[in-house]
Amino acid sequence: MLRKNLALTLFITVILASLFVGCNKSRDYKNSSRATGWKMNAKEGGFQYDPKTKEQETGPGLVFVEGGTFTMGRVQDDPMHDWNNSPTQQHVQSFYMDETEVTNLMYLEYLDWLKQVFPPSDENYRKIYEGAVPDTLVWRNRLGFNEVMTNNYLRHPAYAEYPVVGVSWVQAVEFSNWRTDRVNEMVLETEGITSRNARYDVEPGETFNTETYLNAPTLTYGGNDSITRGGKRSESIAKRSKDSTDLYIGREDGLLLPAYRLPTEAEWEYAALALVGLRNYNVYRGKKKYPWDGQYTRSGKRRSRGDQLANFKQGDGDYGGIAGWSDDGADITAQVKSYEPNDFGLYDMAGNVAEWVADVYRPIVDDEFNDFNYYRGNVYTKNAIGEDGKVKVVTMDSIIFDTLSNGKVVARNLPGEILQVPVDENETYLRTNFSKSDNRDYRDGDKRSSRYYQSFADDESESGDGSNRMYNSPVQNVYADSTGELDRQYDKSSGRTTLVDNEVRVYKGGSWRDRDYWLDPAQRRYFPQDMATDYIGFRCAMSRVGSKSKKGKRPRN
């Protein structure tokens, strides 16, 4: 009897085990929906999803920066008494960043593309190219002989791998937008989604734009599905995907990269500190002074002891040191990668040139409201929709040109892009996370920036002179008439108290013109977004989608 019971128990155990294994197999959702149980990717239909989709590829020129927490701001004494970089604890998501600053060669590639697509010899396109050209006159000095840089720095091949300067924040943003489209255009062509060399076979108003392809693919390349070469019909420019669904590539395919953009201030400072290589509590709390480990600007390593670790101004009348061993190797900017990278693999995060970041400048970083991916500068927009219900794509007749405060005219969008308009009540009604399109001055401390403030005055403040603004900066307007003549309207008010407004941007890092005090990643300064200098350049960043770490797993020691 006991044997029979034991055998029965063993039989039941085997059955339950097989059922358990079967249940586990049935719960393998590689080919079926976890929501409905229906099969996916079936030939007869069903939702199409590739479970083997790779993680985000690293875009050209970028390196991976794994996110984390850090002390943003200056913990050490503030001898300059700026009081604009008080320490706050921040957390930054993983992202990608250019390993070097954008070089003259990279920017010349951008200018060459503009010249080919929008020839400046054509009056209709002239301002597009001219608005993108860096200001080479930034090298001039009333009592200095710098004409060799004025004439050669941007275009001479000897300076090809040097960081581009004379570029305003506005121009840096437009370069980033162009770079996004060219990289994704290359991805589609490499994968055989679009025809080879399609970018050369379109009219100026039919250039490729990533968002246009994702939101209205039939309007890509001006809506031309095919072209004629040498009297013969070529393959489709906007070639459809290879699968049976006959759909265009979308975000769900994971093929196209997110946008290149300027890094936020928090991202730039986090990347410059590169705490990933250190296990020191004081460093974690913000005691790290430079992008490298140590308290000095010269190397302490045996093989390179005494060598300068960055390109900066050594002292009055000393931009590199005595010629020879003690020299830092540069008197103006230096070729990128001339010095060792930090622990993230990023070069020149101190010295060489200071760099634009995305943020609007304010003396205070408002960590009480947000301490995750901090950024001041959000201006939310949406795609413009026409009466036919389709998105509006920019044409040559609808390009928006801006006349900057210095009189320079720049194109804020290019043909082929989707026209953007501010978000309105349709997006903000009954929301708690944002209530308007332009959030650059949110929580500045003034009445006007409060959430429920309503102005019943037609001008910029109740008094009409802007005196009630938190940042009472000059209001100057420059307009260009139909003949190109500039109408400069200067602000003659004697009541202005600051240069800070919504049009000034943060720039970070020391430059070849700066003393080592400014090499600290915590230091922050500001400059008008439409002006340029001979010591500010930039590098691009890209958001990471998906896992925090490169492989989606926690690193093990």
Q: Which residues have CB under 8 Å from 249's CB, separation 6+?
A: 188, 193, 213, 217, 241, 255, 256
Q: What is the DSSP string of 365-412?
A: --TTT--BS--S--B-EEE-B-TTSSBPBP-GGGPPEEE-TTS-EEES
Q: Which pLDDT belongs to residue 498? A: 85
Q: Which helix (H) or strand (E) holds 428?
A: helix 425-428
Beta bridge partners of 381: 422
Q: Which pLDDT belongs to residue 51? A: 60
How far apart, in whole angstroms, are the C-alpha atoms of residue 539 and residue 352? 13
- Would you list the domain boundaries of the chain? 62-375+505-543
CATH, domain range 62-375+505-543: 3.90.1580.10
Radius of gyration of the chain, Cα coordinates, nearest whole angstrom:
28
Length of the chain: 557
How far apart, in whole angstroms, are the C-alpha atoms of residue 377 and residue 360? 5
- Map tokens 């990279």 to a residue: 106
What angle (nearest 5°) sits at the alpha carbon of residue 248, between those of residues 245 and 251?
110
How far apart, in whole angstroms, are the C-alpha atoms of residue 287 and residue 74? 8
How far apart, in whole angstroms, are the C-alpha atoms of residue 466 and residue 199? 48
Handedness of CA 358, 360, 365, 371 (dihedral sign): negative
pLDDT along the chain (557 residues), means of 10: 60 58 55 74 62 80 95 81 87 97 97 91 88 96 95 97 97 96 91 77 80 87 55 46 58 91 98 80 64 83 79 91 80 95 95 97 91 96 92 86 84 89 94 92 71 52 49 79 74 84 94 94 95 97 91 51
- Map tokens 């998105």 to a residue: 391
Beta strands 536-537; 354-360: pairing state: parallel
- Map tokens 């320079």 to a residue: 408
Tokens for 95?
């992202």
Q: What is the DSSP string of 175-243?
A: HHHHHHHHHHHHHHHHTTSS-TTGGGSS-GGG---HHHHHH-GGGGGGG-S--EETTEE---TTPPPSS
H-type alpha helices, 252-407: 265-273, 281-282
Q: Which pLDDT belongs to residue 44? A: 56
Handedness of CA 92, 97, 100, 102 (dihedral sign): negative
Q: Which pLDDT belongs to residue 3? A: 58
- The overall longest dimension of the chain from CA atoms, in Å, is 111
- Map tokens 């009081």 to a residue: 83
Phi then psi for residue 90, to 5 deg, are: -130, 155
Q: Which helix (H) or strand (E) holds 13?
A: helix 2-26
For helices 169-190 and 104-117, angle between their N-to-C axes, nearest 10 degrees:
70
